[in-house]
Structures are given as structure tokens and as C-alpha cells.
């Protein structure tokens, strides 16, 4: 199987894979203890105080996103401001529209970060905005949004701050207590390096208590999921047992390797090696170095008529490297992830494979293809 150079699912360690060889019953004492430890570990990693809770939800990251939006966002009178600078902000706005929840968007295109001034201006322009939804790392381009600065800029306002940290949590610092973040969502198959199967919502306990009966869905109701987890240690519906056990192993390996500082340093080095190698070939990046984070790198498609992405993708995969299959940005581009259980050796191997594929395809003009 190839190395997964994607922003999740991603390449996992042998230990994480081996952990999934055991079968657990959803009511087993050992399994319930694993779930309890995971919830506590996630709260600790996000620097949550005693007034926060962790609610685990079955399903992909978007399940947690819809659960949080449906459980916490107002249904009338007030509005949620969704910051859009890529496909995932747009998805959050789409969910709110589908739910019939009042929403306004701040559109920054797909390669520009919002400034604190942008957020303050939007809030001043519409006093009915009570909730803010913003993405930490927008993997459409890989850009990092200035969450800390935005949180400080809106301090003192009656505003519920909700952060999608799907692709950043565990590799980029986030302090929910110090930054006064009310809600954060992420999933198992990202920077902690677990496998797909569940997502989670970290939220202030008061918000959970106030959300009783508000959610549009039985399955995605965070209040109901939380109360059952608290009372019984069990899930309301069949949990992804193997994914949870694998995640517990991933958390242990994460701590043993040096936690967030070590994880962040490895990912940053991966990104630096990749970007340097691609630029040496003549490929340009969508973002500047101070805009791009260490999670995923977006490269502008060469204008050479011999370049065909599907051929490029499959030839790389045959050589053992699976990149993200397709573009999301408006400018023609492709993306390569730099997270997961990979290091400089893997990145250099991928660069060698890319050079070989370009030569095989007879791609020589690396200037960007314009839209």
C-alpha cells in the first residue's frame, strides 16, 4: 500500500494498526475505560478547564460539525457568522442553510485569511450575530487562519466562538481556555494519527446543558450523547470500537514521541522539504510560506499540455505515494499532505517519484496554468 500524502485518512504507525487486531464489546469495562481516558486526554490537549466536556460522535469529521452546528447555533432571531476561505467553510454554511438556521458568511475567497478587523467589522455591521464559526486550518489550500488574534479581538462580546480544528488539532497549538473558545471540533484520523471512525466536540458544559432539545437530529444530538456517556460510559448507538482502541494507542505514541511540539516540528520539516523540492523543479505554491501551514501544501498546476492530473496521480500511486485526488481551489492546483506517520525520507522519496513521473509524462513547462 502507498504512503498516504493526504490530510486524512493518513499513514498510521504499526502500533496503531496492531491495536485494531483485538475485538472489544461496547459494554466491556476495559472499553469504557478507554473511552473515558480518550475524553480526558482530548480535554487536556486542548487546554480545557473544568468547565468543558468532550463528546465523541460516531462518523467522520463532518458528523461532528453538523452535530455542533445543529446543537448550538440559533434557530431564530440571532445568526451565525461563518468565515469562508475554502470549501470547508462553505460546507458549514451549507449545513446551516439546510437546517434553516440563520447564517451570514464572510467570503475571503480560497487563499486569503480573515483578519481580526474583518471579523470585528462583520460583527459591528450586524448586531444580531451571536455565534462565530471559523476554521483553524482550511485544507482547501492549507492556509492557517489567525484564531488566537481573532479571539482576542472579539473578547468581551456576547459571542459564542466555534472552531473547526479538524486538520490542525494536535499539531498546531490551540488553548480553548485562554482564547475563550466555546466549541471545538476535530476527528480521529488527523494529527493524532488515528484511523477514521469517529469525531469529537469539545464544548463548555453550560452550552451542552442549554442545548437540550435543540438539535434537529436524534443521532447527532450532542446533549443526549453527552448525558449517556456521563451516566453509563457507553455510547447510545454502536461505537466504532476498533477506531477508538487505535486512537488510544495513537495518543500514547503521541505523548511518548514528545506531544504537540514534536508533532508540529516533524510536520513543519516535512512541509519545508516538500516545498523546497517542488520549487526546485519549477512548481509554484498557491500560498506564501507565511500563509501556508504544515498540514497540506497546494501547488499550482503546470501549464504544460502533457500534464494530466489523473495520469500524474495514478503514476505516483503506482510508485507508492497517494496524494490528494483532486483540487478544491479556484485556480488549477493539486495538493500534497505532509501529516501522518511520515518523515523526511518519505517526502524525499515522493519528490524522486514526482521527478520520474514528470519525465515519463514529458512535462517540462512548470509555469502555472491559469484558470
Tell me the pLDDT tens digit for each residue of 140-182: 999 999 999 999 999 999 999 999 999 999 999 999 999 999 9
Taking the C-alpha atoms of residue 57 and residue 200, their distance in angstroms, rounded to an integer, is 6
Taking the C-alpha atoms of residue 370 and residue 367, their distance in angstroms, rounded to an integer, is 9
Q: What is the pTM of this model?
A: 0.95
Summarize pLDDT for 106-127 with one digit per residue, the tens: 999 988 999 999 999 999 999 9
Taking the C-alpha atoms of residue 76 and residue 96, their distance in angstroms, rounded to an integer, is 12
Backbone angles phi, psi at 276, to 5 degrees: -60, -45
- Residue 347, classed as helix, strand or coil, is helix
> Which of 211, 203, 158, 196 is CA-nearest to residue 58?
196
Summarize pLDDT for 235-277 with one digit per residue, the tens: 999 999 999 999 999 999 999 999 999 999 999 999 999 999 9
Q: Is the pLDDT of residue 8 over 90?
A: no
How many other C-beta atoms are found inside a 10 Å radius of the C-beta of residue 345? Answer: 9
- Residue 40, classed as helix, strand or coil, is helix
Taking the C-alpha atoms of residue 220 and residue 262, their distance in angstroms, rounded to an integer, is 34
- CA torsion sign for 119, 90, 88, 128 is positive
What percentage of the chain has pLDDT greater than the value 70? 99
What's the chain's average pLDDT? 96
Q: Which domains does the chain have, with CATH numbers?
A: 20-255 (3.40.640.10), 259-361 (3.90.1150.10)
pLDDT for res 254? 98
Contact 278, 295 (CB under 8 A): no
pLDDT for res 325? 83
Taking the C-alpha atoms of residue 262 and residue 258, their distance in angstroms, rounded to an integer, is 5
Mean pLDDT of 189-204: 98
DSSP line for 66-99: HHHHHHHS-SSSSEEEEEESSHHHHHHHHHHHHH
103 strand-pairing partners:
80
Taking the C-alpha atoms of residue 40 and residue 46, their distance in angstroms, rounded to an integer, is 10
Amino acid at each position: 500500500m502507498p504512503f498516504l500524502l493526504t490530510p486524512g485518512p493518513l499513514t498510521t504507525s504499526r502500533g496503531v494498526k496492531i491495536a485494531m487486531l483485538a475485538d472489544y464489546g461496547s459494554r466491556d469495562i476495559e472499553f469504557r475505560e478507554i473511552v473515558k481516558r480518550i475524553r480526558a486526554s482530548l480535554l487536556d490537549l486542548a487546554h480545557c478547564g473544568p468547565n468543558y466536556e468532550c463528546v465523541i460522535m460516531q462518523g467522520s469529521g463532518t458528523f461532528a460539525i453538523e452535530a455542533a452546528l445543529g446543537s448550538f447555533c440559533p434557530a431564530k432571531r440571532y445568526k451565525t457568522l461563518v468565515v469562508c476561505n475554502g470549501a470547508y467553510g462553505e460546507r458549514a454554511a451549507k449545513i446551516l442553510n439546510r437546517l434553516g438556521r440563520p447564517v451570514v458568511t464572510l467570503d475571503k475567497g480560497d487563499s486569503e485569511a480573515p483578519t481580526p478587523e474583518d471579523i470585528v467589522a462583520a460583527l459591528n455591521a450586524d448586531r444580531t450575530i451571536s455565534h462565530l464559526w471559523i476554521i483553524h486550518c482550511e485544507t482547501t489550500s492549507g492556509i492557517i487562519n489567525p484564531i488566537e488574534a481573532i479571539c482576542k479581538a472579539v473578547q468581551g462580546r456576547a459571542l459564542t466562538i466555534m472552531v473547526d480544528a479538524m486538520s490542525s488539532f494536535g499539531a498546531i497549538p490551540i488553548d480553548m481556555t485562554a482564547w475563550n473558545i466555546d466549541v471545538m471540533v476535530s476527528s480521529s484520523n488527523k494529527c493524532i494519527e488515528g484511523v477514521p471512525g469517529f469525531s469529537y466536540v469539545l464544548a463548555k458544559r453550560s452550552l451542552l446543558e442549554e442545548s437540550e432539545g435543540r438539535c434537529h437530529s436524534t443521532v447527532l444530538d450532542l446533549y443526549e450523547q453527552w448525558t449517556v456517556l456521563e451516566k453509563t460510559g457507553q455510547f447510545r448507538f454502536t461505537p466504532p470500537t476498533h477506531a477508538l482502541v487505535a486512537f488510544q494507542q495513537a495518543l500514547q505514541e503521541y505523548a511518548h514521541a514528545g506531544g504537540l511540539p514534536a508533532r508540529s516540528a516533524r510536520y513543519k520539516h516535512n512541509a519545508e522539504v516538500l516545498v523546497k523540492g517542488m520549487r526546485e523543479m519549477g512548481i509554484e505554491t498557491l500560498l506564501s510560506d507565511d500563509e501556508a501551514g504544515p498540514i497540506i501544501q497546494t501547488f499550482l498546476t503546470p501549464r504544460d499540455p502533457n500534464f494530466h492530473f489523473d495520469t500524474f496521480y495514478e503514476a505516483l500511486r503506482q510508485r507508492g505515494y497517494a496524494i490528494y485526488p483532486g483540487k478544491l481551489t479556484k485556480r488549477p492546483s493539486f495538493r500534497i499532505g505532509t501529516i501522518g506517520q511520515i518523515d523526511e525520507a518519505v517526502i524525499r522519496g515522493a519528490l524522486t517519484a514526482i521527478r520520474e513521473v514528470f519525465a515519463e509524462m514529458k512535462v517540462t513547462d512548470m509555469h502555472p496554468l491559469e484558470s
